[in-house]
Amino acid sequence: MRDLFEGHFAAEPAAEGMGEGAVLLRGLARDCAADLLGALHDILEVSPFRHMVTPGGYSMSVALTNCGAAGWITDRSGYRYGATDPLTGSSWPAMPDCFLALAATAAEAAGYVGFRPDACLINRYVPGARLSLHQDRNERDFAHPIVSVSLGLPATFLFGGLKRSDPVRRFLLGHGDVAVWGGPSRLRFHGVADLKDGDHDVLGRQRINLTFRRAL
């Protein structure tokens, strides 16, 4: 499957180290962005964006949806993965081939061979939206990396340590940049600073983030 999309990825993306087992692949997804956004349109026709509520009762500033065998969910009962979209009562949309190919390519470029995600959390940021520092730890097996794709407006990615109080590094993510972290960095705290206003030539006043995980 990956071979079908080989020509749509940057041949040699500029790699920037973020920490042990963590790398930022500049522009890797830029050439396949049109395919990703076309597939996203079909996903949203089935499972549209929505603002979920945290266990503490707060509405998230980031709107989200999912595709794949499992979707990440938050409500007053907690954080978890589920096979069913609570908004529609149906299964989450299947993960598109172009999503799977990009996730595998990015993971391999970062040194994680054979990654095949079963969950893709899709976040939409508008100016002012943010994501506080957190760990991705609702997955069953932390042996698999996280692959995070940025599309649209630039955002400041916050990458901390294994404790919330550890120092935080800041990385400016542009359209098509892909961050991958796993191994000793798999449980690092991370987040996104308040999105600054702007007008991207493709996505306008928003940023889309695709986060690929092996959840089940």
pLDDT at 102: 98
Name all domains of the chain by residue range, CATH numbers in brackets: 2-213 (2.60.120.590)
Please answer whether residues 178 and 29 qualify as being in contact, where contact means their C-beta atoms are separated by less than 8 angstroms.
yes
| pLDDT exceeds 60 at position 4 | no
| Distances, alpha carbon 10 to alpha carbons 30, 49, 112, 158, in Å | 7, 29, 18, 24
pLDDT at 117: 98
**Bridge partners, residue 45, by sequence:** none
User: For the range 11-15, what are the long-range contacts, defined as Cβ-Cβ under 8 Å and sequence gap of 24 or more?
Assistant: 13/109, 13/178, 15/109, 15/110
The pLDDT, as a whole number, for residue 12 is 61
Spatial separation of the C-alpha atoms in residues 86 and 90, rounded to whole Å: 8
**pLDDT exceeds cutoff 80 at 86:** yes
Q: Got the DSSP string for 130-179?
A: -EEEE----SS-TTS-EEEEEEES-EEEEE--SSTTS--EEEEE-TT-EE
In this predicted structure, what is the pLDDT of residue 2? 44
Answer yes or no: is pLDDT of 5 > 80: no
Residue 201 has pLDDT above 80, yes or no: yes
Instruction: Give the tens place of pLDDT for each residue, 7-48.
Output: 565 556 789 999 999 999 999 999 999 999 999 999 999 999
179 has a pLDDT exceeding 80: yes
Q: What is the pLDDT of residue 13?
A: 72
Find the mean pLDDT for residues 195-204: 98
pTM for this prediction: 0.94
Q: 55: buried, middle or exposed (CB in 10 Å: 19+, 13-18, 0-12)? A: exposed
Separation of alpha carbons 118 and 216, rounded Å = 7
Position 3 confidence tier, pLDDT thresholds 50, 70, 90: very low
Rounded distance between C-alpha atoms, residue 39 and residue 104, angstroms: 17
